[in-house]
Amino acid sequence: MAGSPARVLLGRMEHTKMQEDMLREIKELHEDRSLPVKVTAAAEKKFYKKASQYYVTPDGRMFKRNKEKSPLLVVLDPDIRNRILIEAHDWLGHKGEQAVYDVL
């Protein structure tokens, strides 16, 4: 049962939730200069390194640096993120996951 579709989906959902929490903490760091309470001294350096990959604009939008390419907008609101995925999928003519990933 370890590899059942339900367990795989739950694992992905948990991973997504952890990523969302981390991104919110990074945004708080950039806006308020406050570290998450649960960050230990050992994890602080790692957190700062991860946070340095992002920046927040004065209007509150967060972007991820993307080397020589344009920065990537971070969409924290799950409803907006889902609408973007649906719109891209429909706009591309239902070409599949990889096509949507490539365009976004």
Condensed to tens digits (0 to 9), the pLDDT of residues 3-32 reads: 666 665 566 667 678 888 889 999 999 998
| 30 located within any domain | yes
Which H/E stretch holds residue 53?
A: none
State mean pLDDT over 88-103. 76
Q: What six digits make up the tokens of 20? A: 């969302």
Split at pLDDT 50, 70, 90, the class of 85 is confident
Per the structure, the count of domains in the chain is: 1
| 85 located within any domain | no
Q: What six digits make up the tokens of 2? A: 């370890």
Cβ burial of 29 (10 Å; 0-12, 13-18, 19+) is buried
Task: Say how far residue 93 (Cα) sits from the centre of its chain.
Answer: 25
Split at pLDDT 50, 70, 90, the class of 96 is confident
Answer yes or no: pTM beyond 0.75. Answer: no
| 25 located within any domain | yes
| 27 located within any domain | yes
| 104 located within any domain | no
pLDDT tens figures, 35-66: 777 667 888 888 889 999 999 999 999 999 99
- The residue segments making up the domain with residue 59 are 5-75
Q: Which residue has the tokens 């760091």?
A: 29
| 38 located within any domain | yes
CA–CA distance, 73 with 81 (Å, rounded to integer): 11
| 43 located within any domain | yes
| 32 located within any domain | yes
